[in-house]
Every structure is written in structure tokens, then in C-alpha cells.
Structure 1
Amino acid sequence: MDLHPKGFDLSLDRITRLLARLDNPQKRMPPVIHIAGTNGKGSCAALCRALLEASGRSVHVHTSPHLVRWHERYRIGRAHGPGEFVDDAVFADAIRRVADANGGEQITVFEILTAVMFVLFSEHSADAAIVEVGLGGRFDATNVIDDPAVSVIMPIGLDHEAYLGDRIELIAMEKAGIMKPGRPVVIGFQDNDIAREVLADAAGRLGCPAAVYGQDFYAYEEHGRMAFQSDIGLMDLPMPRLAGRHQISNAAAALAAVSAAGFDIAHDAAEQAMENVQWPARMQRLTDGNLVALLPEGSELWLDGGHNPHAAQMIAEALANMQDRAERPVFLVTGMIDTKDARGYFRAFEGMVRHVFTVPVPESDAGIDPKTLAEDALEAGLSAQPMENVAEVLRLLGEGWNRLEPAPRVLIGGSLYLAGGVLRDNGTPPV
């Protein structure tokens, strides 16, 4: 029997057993903002971190998966200044202690890494901890937090159907599993009424004070700025630095979350957070680096790890809202793993992109063969061809581009694993 079985094995038994052997570090955490959802979890985490740090608070952040280095999953808060990725020696020591406590019993890699998070965050002081759910909610390894400062449910769509169910209401119930009796809940924007109703009903049954987007708080763009309205009043803020109109509702959820968690955020701190927030590989524009240099002068290279149809729709909308969309030709470079709805992803870009190049997903044995992926794109109504790798695509565009045409806009997407490989090869890993 393998020590670390592949795939997902949803249960809390193993992580509960392991944490008990470690003297239950999850019970010694700073106030936790626990975030679930199909899309927007990472953006919400980044925005919550920006809001708290702009107000002078120290905050730990756990996100997954990492893009380039395992350390990215653990950002340790500092009393003065922004948090930093965990130190190599501290990380190695935590892994050793967790592995020793497990004693060779079968456990998933994510459960080991989650236990490491609880050890690290319990042993370093901070004002808050932001914990992103890995998969689902109810049986996710992070869901051993009994009394979160707030549970946040971001937009829900179809993803991981084999594990979470193939209907929105089933997935919503899995996400609602992170809610705890009597503890505050923030329900972010939901474009599906059934999902919103399932989440609100779950909060009601558990007696959770709930703030629901569109009911108790909301945000919108006005004159190039973001207006945020809630029961504490109206805030006039800069647009979030993160690209895409969907980041307006993500920012609203983050503002509601830090408030529900008991943290007051001054207006100037909120302004600073919106202007400074960063979240790699989510509509991130790469402006320099090894891969950028392969494109024609004046080109734009964008990177987004979104990998399901719901995420693709938001990415496509962000592209459509760019000012010169009618002038600059758009190319899509895509790699995906075999648990994703590739055709559903590609359909979001129909009529928008000139051509799709499909590539392997680096360091993954679950990647869809580029030839098969190109066929999926063709079935979705797009022009497509398989390629060896991202660098080959960019080199092809750079060497063969007609300089009489506006320089291209290139979006690399479909997988966070692919996005991580791009950041590594470009020489611009997250910091």
C-alpha cells in the first residue's frame, strides 16, 4: 500500500489522527479567515491579506497549489512589514516533525502539507491567518478548524465533479461544509441562484450570522473607481489592481470578510490595499523575462491559471474589456489536466481568439495530450494546433509576425501547473 495514494481521498480521519499526535496545533491558531469556492479563493485571500497588512496587522496565508516552489503555500506574517514565504530550514523542520508524527501510516500529500501549515501558523504569532480550502470544503483537510473568525464562500461552479457531485446544489453543500455553528459567514457573489440559496439555508440552519453579496453588501464600478456598499456605509475606493471586472466582487467579499472577522479597516488602508494587492498567475501581465523576450516588440503576455468553464468566462470577459480588443489579435496557449472540462473552457473564447496553441502541462502525468486538447478546441469552434511547449509557441509568433499588424496579445492558461512552469521559465517566480 502506497504511503501517499494518488488522487483525492476525501476524509478527515487521517488528518484528525495526525493533528492529535502533534498536540492539535489547529486549536492554537490566530483568528482564521477560512475560504472555499470554485473560483476566486486565491484572489480573496490575496485581497484579505492586503487589507490586513495595509492596516498594520500581521497575517499568515495558506494557499494551494504552489506555482514554482512548495514554500509559496506558507506565508508567515511579520509584526512590521508584509509576510514572507517560510524559511527553508523552518519549513524542513516542520515537515520532519509532521512526518515523524505520522509514523509511516497512509496519508495524502495534501494532508501532510496541511498539518505542516497548522504547525507553522500555531508556532508563529500573527494577528490573523488566512486559510484557503484545497478541494471542496466538508472533507477538505483544512476543515478541522472548529471556530473560524469567518467562513467565506466564493463563487461556485462545476469543477471536480467526480468528487464533489455534478450538480451545483451538491457542490454548494460541499462548500458549505466549512461553516461552523454560530460563526460568521460571508457568501460572495454567486451567479447561480440555487447555489446562493443552498449556502444561505445552510448558514441559517447553523445559526451563522451571514453577509450575502447583493443583499448585505455589494460593489460596482463608477467613474473608474470601485464603490463598496455594506451596513457600515459606502466606501469609494480605487479599482483592485487585479485585472478583470470579477475582481470587484472578489474585493467586496474580502472587505466583508475582514469586517465579519472583527477587524476594522480604515478607508486609507482599504485604498492602499486595492492599489497594492498582488496575486500571481491570475490575469497577471508579464512585462519582462525570458519568455516575454521571445514575442514581437509591443506584445502583451498574460497568464491565468483558471482551469474550468466558469473561470474561462471571467477570463474572456477580462480580455473583452481591454481597451484595444478590436485592434490587437489574441492568441491562446493552453495546457490542461485530464480532470477538467476542456471543451467547456474553450467555448468561453469562441469568436475572441485568432488561434489556439495547445501544449503539455509540465511536471504532471495527468496532462491532456496536446493533440487531444487541440481537438477539443476545434470541437468548441476554435482554430487550434498542438505544439511542443510554450517557448516554441512564443518563438513562432516572434519570428513570423507581420510587423504591419498590431502586436499580439497572448494569454497562457488552463492550468496552475502550466502557469507555474511559465513563471519559472520566464525567471519571474512569486515573491
Structure 2
Amino acid sequence: MNYNEALDYIHSTYKFGSKLGLENIRDLLELMGNPQESLKFIHVAGTNGKGSTSTFISEILIEEGYSVGLFTSPYLEEFTERIRINGDNIPKDDLAEATKIVKENVDTMLANGKQHPTEFEIVTAIALLHYKLKKVDYVVLEVGLGGRLDSTNVIENTLVSVITPIALDHTQYLGETLDKIAYEKAGIIKNESLVVVHPQDDKAMNMIEKVSADKKSKLFIAPTKTIEIKRYDEYGIIFDVEVIGKKYCDLEIGLLGKHQVNNATVALMAIKILSECHGINISETSIRNGFKKAKWPGRLEVLRRKPTLLIDGAHNIHGAKALKRAIEETFKYDKLIAVIGVLGDKDVDGILKEIIPLCNEVIITKPNNPRAISLDLLKEKIEALDKNVEMFEEIGKAVDRSLEISGENDLVLYCGSLYMIGDIRTKLRKNI
């Protein structure tokens, strides 16, 4: 099996849908010799901020000299982004080899009368096998959907469970209230374990506290109220924060948006727990350097200046609010030109009400995903907010138009769906 055959096989399993539950992944990993049992995990769940929090943790551990696997989803430009070790994507030959092994075991499952695993279950199995073969020291494992029944929750050896901000998203799978969603996210908490959580709305926090207590786990709430931002501009943020009795001054991150300081604080709390409760050596120098080096493509990412080209994957109301705040607080510009594409199963109206009033020009296009909202309906919704709209079915033509009408002092924003901004990022980087 070569790389392209591996991708074809993985993507061919999309038709098996998204099924929450652990039976399939357990059966598959059992046949594979349970590669997860030889690994140590930092498990990260939440609605927003999972990726950047995971990246902060990973980069700090890498700086200390550890071999660190990072599993995230979705990818922006290349599938191999989802499975990384020390910042490097899984090599294509390694992906092909791991996929071949997983497929052989899936075939055995089917011969034994078991259900076919979903695409995400197969990718999870590929990642766990790869990390075992490469003998990584730690895996920072991002949950795909929810937590309790997500296939990543097959793991047992969790050093610390991390829960980032929780908001209403994927309600058809996780429940329509914050406490129900928080229950699913808190499902990653293991018995008698350690938990780090971003401060939450009362309903979500009460549920996380209840689950932690039921499982006799120790809960640490990230001290975001101790944060003092000392510099904030479109090049990054410098801040002070006190975590578990130690004050860190002049920490620097390059990720934009004040919410990233909160994510960094959650990551720092998790690092402190790893150090103080598990005896893992992590120096302050590694913390500082890891924060500086952390990058999370496609999230408030500036690709060029004059004009400023900004891409952001905000795809729910919480993310849209953070994007709006970041634009208002960070950037100076003459005109804001937005290229927007959204999936129909998101809170489209909520996202648009946050972003559209900021815009001088609006261009819409369609993400390469079958769940994308129709352009006619999206146009109608934006026009109802009293904005004129240009419409392009092809993403490339929408990007070309945005560059054509922008001046060097303008801000051009590409947002609405991670499934769209990956294509846009590829095109813009080629142009640059």
C-alpha cells in the first residue's frame, strides 16, 4: 500500500458515518495488540481552544527534549498534519505502512462479524500505532467529538485530562444544553486522576465538578483571573500569570486573540501538574521557549501584510465572538473585506451576526464539504443584515476577487469553516 492508496482507503470509510461509542475501536485495537497501552497521554477535550492548548503543551514538552506525539483534527492542507511527532507530520511512507496494518485488522474484524470502524476510529488507530512504533515519550491527544464516547477515550494511561472552553456545538450528538455537553466532555476524566479545566459557565462547571467528584479525581481550575496582559498587538502577546503559587512574568506567545492567553494558562497549569504530580522534568526555559514557538495554523493567522490577509477557522458562535474581539482589539485597517463559507449544520445566523457588521465588503463561497450551506441561502441571510454580497462557487475565484478589490491598508478576512480555509491557505501561500 502506498500513500495515495492509504488515503483512498481512509477516506472511503467516511461513508460509515460518525458513530459515538468505544466498542469498535476497542475491538480494532485489541486485534492490533493494544498499542495505546504502551503510551502516556495528555488528553484534551472542549469545544474551543483544544488545538492551540494542545500545541502549547506539545511545544513545551518538545523544548524539554521529549519525543511528543500530537494528534489533532481536522487538517487544513495535508492529511498528515493530523499525526505529528515533534512538530513533523507523519511521513507518507509511515502513514501507508500503518494504514496497511490497520486495514488488515479491520478485515479480520469484518470476518468476525463486527461492524466496520468509522473513518475517525481508523485514523485514531493509525495514530496510536505510529506513536507506539516510534516510541514517543508522551502523546497530546485531542478529542474528535465530545469525549465520553469519542474513540480517543479508549485510552487508560492519562497523565492529565484537560478541558478547554465548552459551548453549544454538535448538539445533535452531544445534547442541547451546556450541562449535557459538559457531561460528554468530562467523560475523558479517569478514576482517581488529575483534571485541568478552563473556567466555564456555571452549568458546565457544576457538571465537571460532579464528574470529577464521582470519579474521585482532583480538579484544578486554570487561574485565568491572575492574567495581566502587558503587551498586545498583531504580532503577539506578552503577559504575566500566577499558576500554583508561582508567578511567571513576561511570557510571550505569537498566537493572536486574548483568548489565547487563557489557553496558554490552561496549558501551563497542565504542564505544572505533569511536573509536580508526575515528576516530569520541565524547566521554565522550556515553558518560555515552547510558548514562543507555538503555532496553530488557520486560527487568527496573518499570512501577509499590505494588505493584511487573516485566516481564521471560527465555525461556531464562541469562535466567532473571539474572532470579532480580536479584530476590534488588534487590527487597524481602512476597509474589512470578508470571504465567508459556512457549513449548514452550524449556528450560521449566530456567526454572521458577529462578523458581518464589521465588514465593508462581503464575498461568499462554498467549503468543500457536503454539509456546506447553499450560497443562495447564505447570501439571503447576509443581505438581511444589510450588506451587499458577491458570490463565487469556486473558492479560488472568491480569493482572487478579494485580492483584486483590496488596498494595502485593508484587512482581508477568510473565515467560517476549517474545511474552507485550508484550501484558501494553500492558494494564498502559493501566491505569496
- Give the TM-score normalised by the residue count of structure 2: 0.88
Kept in 1, the 8 Å contact 2:198–2:222? The answer is yes
Question: By how many angstroms is 1:428 displaced?
Answer: 6.1
2:268 corresponds to which residue?
A: 255
Q: State the Cα deviation string for residues 392-419 of structure 1 (Å, max 9, x = none).
A: 3343344445x6xx63201111111111
Q: Determine which of 239, 245, 259 is the counterpart of 2:252.
A: 239
Distance in 1, Cα, partners of 2:296 & 2:150: 23
Question: By how many angstroms is 1:381 displaced?
Answer: 5.3
Distance in 2, Cα, partners of 1:428 & 1:167: 43
Question: By how many angstroms is 1:72 displaced?
Answer: 0.8
2:422 corresponds to which residue?
A: 420
Kept in 2, the 8 Å contact 1:134–1:142? The answer is yes
After superposition, the Cα gap between the structure-2 partners of 1:265 and 1:382, relative to the gap in structure 1 and judged at 3 Å, is farther
SS of residue paired to 2:153: coil
2:127 corresponds to which residue?
A: 117
SS of residue paired to 1:351: helix
Tell me how many residue pairs correspond in the alignment.
405
Distance in 2, Cα, partners of 1:138 & 1:399: 47
- In proportion to residue count, which structure has more helix? 2
| Letter in structure 2 aligned against 1:256 | M
After superposition, the Cα gap between the structure-2 partners of 1:119 and 1:199, relative to the gap in structure 1 and judged at 3 Å, is same
Which residues of 2 match residues 303-314 of structure 1 at below 5 A?
303-314=311-322
Distance in 2, Cα, partners of 1:308 & 1:55: 35
Question: By how many angstroms is 1:322 displaced?
Answer: 1.6
SS of residue paired to 1:239: strand
Distance in 2, Cα, partners of 1:317 & 1:4: 36
Question: By how many angstroms is 1:305 displaced?
Answer: 1.2
Distance in 1, Cα, partners of 2:359 & 2:192: 48
Kept in 2, the 8 Å contact 1:343–1:380? The answer is no
The question of 1:166 aligning with 2:176 is answered yes
Distance in 2, Cα, partners of 1:113 & 1:428: 29
| Letter in structure 2 aligned against 1:392 | K
Question: By how many angstroms is 1:380 displaced?
Answer: 4.7
The question of 1:205 aligning with 2:214 is answered yes
Question: By how many angstroms is 1:373 displaced?
Answer: 1.5
The question of 1:270 aligning with 2:287 is answered yes
After superposition, the Cα gap between the structure-2 partners of 1:272 and 1:4, relative to the gap in structure 1 and judged at 3 Å, is closer
Q: State the Cα deviation string for residues 12-66 of structure 1 (Å, max 9, x = none).
A: 111111111111111111x211000000000001111111112222211100111
Moved more, 39-48 or 229-238: 229-238
Kept in 1, the 8 Å contact 2:239–2:250? The answer is yes
Q: Determine which of 374, 379, 389 is the counterpart of 1:374.
A: 379
Kept in 2, the 8 Å contact 1:330–1:410? The answer is yes
Kept in 1, the 8 Å contact 2:196–2:266? The answer is yes
Distance in 1, Cα, partners of 2:297 & 2:13: 32
| Letter in structure 2 aligned against 1:118 | L
Q: Determine which of 364, 371, 384 is the counterpart of 2:389.
A: 384
Question: Identity rate of aligned residues, in percent?
Answer: 29
1:294 corresponds to which residue?
A: none
After superposition, the Cα gap between the structure-2 partners of 1:382 and 1:213, relative to the gap in structure 1 and judged at 3 Å, is farther
Question: By how many angstroms is 1:75 displaced?
Answer: 0.6
Task: Please report the RMSD computed on the Cα atoms of aligned residues, expressed in angstroms.
Answer: 2.1
Kept in 2, the 8 Å contact 1:357–1:374? The answer is no
Distance in 2, Cα, partners of 1:169 & 1:316: 26
| Letter in structure 1 aligned against 2:416 | G
Question: By how many angstroms is 1:318 displaced?
Answer: 0.7
| Letter in structure 2 aligned against 1:228 | V
After superposition, the Cα gap between the structure-2 partners of 1:146 and 1:218, relative to the gap in structure 1 and judged at 3 Å, is farther
Question: By how many angstroms is 1:377 displaced?
Answer: 2.5
The question of 1:317 aligning with 2:325 is answered yes
Distance in 2, Cα, partners of 1:223 & 1:311: 22
| Letter in structure 2 aligned against 1:151 | S
After superposition, the Cα gap between the structure-2 partners of 1:199 and 1:48, relative to the gap in structure 1 and judged at 3 Å, is same
The question of 1:181 aligning with 2:191 is answered yes
After superposition, the Cα gap between the structure-2 partners of 1:264 and 1:353, relative to the gap in structure 1 and judged at 3 Å, is farther
1:332 corresponds to which residue?
A: 338
- Give the TM-score normalised by the residue count of structure 1: 0.89
Moved more, 230-239 or 61-70: 230-239
Moved more, 151-160 or 253-262: 253-262
SS of residue paired to 2:358: coil
Which residues of 2 match residues 40-51 of structure 1 at below 5 A?
40-51=49-60
Q: Any stretches of 5+ residues in structure 1 without a counterpart? A: 77-81, 288-296
Q: Determine which of 136, 143, 148 is the counterpart of 1:138.
A: 148
Q: Determine which of 300, 303, 312 is the counterpart of 1:286.
A: 303
Q: Any stretches of 5+ residues in structure 2 without a counterpart? A: 1-11, 233-237
After superposition, the Cα gap between the structure-2 partners of 1:231 and 1:421, relative to the gap in structure 1 and judged at 3 Å, is same
Distance in 2, Cα, partners of 1:396 & 1:83: 34
After superposition, the Cα gap between the structure-2 partners of 1:343 and 1:240, relative to the gap in structure 1 and judged at 3 Å, is same
1:220 corresponds to which residue?
A: 228
SS of residue paired to 2:21: coil
After superposition, the Cα gap between the structure-2 partners of 1:351 and 1:183, relative to the gap in structure 1 and judged at 3 Å, is same
Distance in 2, Cα, partners of 1:356 & 1:4: 33
Distance in 1, Cα, partners of 2:351 & 2:396: 22
Distance in 2, Cα, partners of 1:260 & 1:309: 31
After superposition, the Cα gap between the structure-2 partners of 1:355 and 1:183, relative to the gap in structure 1 and judged at 3 Å, is same
Which residues of 2 match residues 349-364 of structure 1 at below 5 A?
349-362=355-368, 364=369
Q: Determine which of 73, 77, 81 is the counterpart of 1:64.
A: 73
Kept in 1, the 8 Å contact 2:317–2:351? The answer is yes
